[in-house]
Amino acid sequence: MPANRIGYSTLSLPQLKILQEVITLSIFVPFAMLYMKESLKLNYLWAGLCLVGAVYFIFKG
């Protein structure tokens, strides 16, 4: 849905960008942890919380 004409007619451009980042990280983080054996660090959790906040505020209005 992100970055196509259907998505842009439904959501705003900032909403599409935040949605793209959330989708990308929800795929990449488990891949990095399970396949690449990257350890979970506190900074990753803080960054995840920032993304949750971004999703909340961008879709709130």
3-59: per-residue pLDDT in tens?
567 777 788 888 988 988 999 988 998 999 999 999 988 998 898 899 999 999 999
Q: Report whether 40 contacts 33 (CB < 8 A).
A: yes
pLDDT, residue 4, reads: 66
pTM as predicted: 0.76
5-29: buried (b, 16+ CB within 10 Å) or exposed (e) per residue? eebeeebeeebbebbeebeeeeeee
pLDDT, residue 3, reads: 56
